Amino acid sequence: MPSALSRAGLFAPGETPVIGRFAIAGGNPNAPDYAVPVRSMALAFYQKDGQQWRTGMNAMPMFPVNSVEGFYDLQIATLPDAKTGKPDPAKIQAFVQKHPEIKPFFGWAQQYVPSSSWASDRFNSLNAFNFVDSDGKSHVVRWSMVPHTDYQPINAADKNDSHFLQSDLQQRLAKGPLQWDLIITVADAQDKSSDASIAWPADRQTINAGTLTINQTTPQQQGACNDINYDPLILPEGITASDDPILNARSSAYAKSYNARTHEQAGAH
C-alpha cells in the first residue's frame, strides 16, 4: 500500500480531484506535434485538507544530465547554427566529453519511436523524491504514470497534422475516459537520489498507488490548467524533495516560464 510509504492524504482510500496538462517539450509554441519526441504530463492533485501535490513528468526514461551546469551547457551546445539551422556537431562532441552521463540518453533518443497518442505514453518523474510515512521514516522513490492504452508508433498520417496529439486526445475522450496507473518505484540502498540521469533497474519494488482517470479536455487558454504553475516542489505533507540539484532549477525555470507565458497572454487581450 502506498499509504505505508507516505502519509500524504491522496494515498488514503477514495478519489482526489486533479487538473492536468499535456505538452510537448521545448520553447517553441508553434512547433508541430510530430517534430518533438519528448512529451510531458503535468498534474495538480487537490487533497481534501487543502494541500496540493503538483508534479511534472516526461515521456523519457532518464534526464539527459545530472547537474544544473550540465543542463545549461546542453542548451548552449544544441543551439542551431545560424548558417546550417542545426546544432554544431563539434559543440555537441565537446559537450559529451564534458558531460558523459548524457550518453545513455542519446542512446535512447536515437532508437526511440514516438507514439501516436498522449494516451499511450508513459510519463516519469525522473527526479527522486522522499515519501515520509506516519512514523516519520523517509523512503526514496520515483513515480510513473503507466498508460492503459496500448502503444502505437507515430505514422505518416500523424505527420500531416501539426496538432495531431490534440486531435487524437479529443477523439479518444469523446468515446470514454483515459486512464493511467500511478506506479511508485522504491529505491534500493545503492540507487542515487541525486542523479536523474541514471535509470533505476527494472527489478526495483513497485507499488500501484491508484488510477488516474481523465474525463475531459479543453484548450489550455480556456482551461483551468492555464493558471497553474506546475512547480514540482509544491508538495503535500508526506512528500519532500530529494537532494537532486535539478529540482530547485526546475522549480525556478517553471516559475519564469509561467510568468512569461501569463504576461504574454495578458498582453494579447
Give residue 34's pLDDT: 87
For the full predicted model, state whether its pTM sits above 0.85: yes
pLDDT above 60: residue 81 = yes
Average pLDDT value for residue range 194-216: 97
Q: What is the rounded distance in angstroms from the CA atom of residue 25 to the CA atom of residue 9?
A: 31
Give residue 44's pLDDT: 96
* pLDDT single digits (tens) 5-57: 999 999 999 999 999 999 998 767 778 888 888 999 999 999 999 999 999 99
Give residue 264's pLDDT: 63
Give residue 69's pLDDT: 95
Give residue 229's pLDDT: 84
Q: What is the DSSP string of 167-236?
A: HHHHHHHHH--EEEEEEEEEPPTTS-TT-TTSPPPTTS-EEEEEEEEE-----GGGSGGGG----TT---
Average pLDDT value for residue range 62-78: 93
* pLDDT single digits (tens) 120-174: 999 999 999 999 999 999 999 999 999 999 999 999 999 889 999 999 999 999 9
Q: Tell me the backbone φ, ψ of residue 40, rounded to 5 degrees.
A: -135, 155
**Strand 18-24 vs strand 39-46: parallel, antiparallel, or unpaired?**
antiparallel
Give residue 2's pLDDT: 79
Find the distance separating the first CA and the last CA of the chain, reported in whole Å: 48
Average pLDDT value for residue range 234-262: 79
Query: Which grid coordinates belong to 113?
Result: 519511436
Q: 95-104, 202-211, 215-224 — which is least confidently predicted?
A: 215-224
pLDDT above 60: residue 269 = no
Give residue 262's pLDDT: 55
Average pLDDT value for residue range 55-62: 96
Q: 63-67, 68-72, 127-131, 217-221 — which is least confidently predicted?
A: 217-221
How confident is residue 251, by pLDDT bands cut at 50, 70 and 90?
low
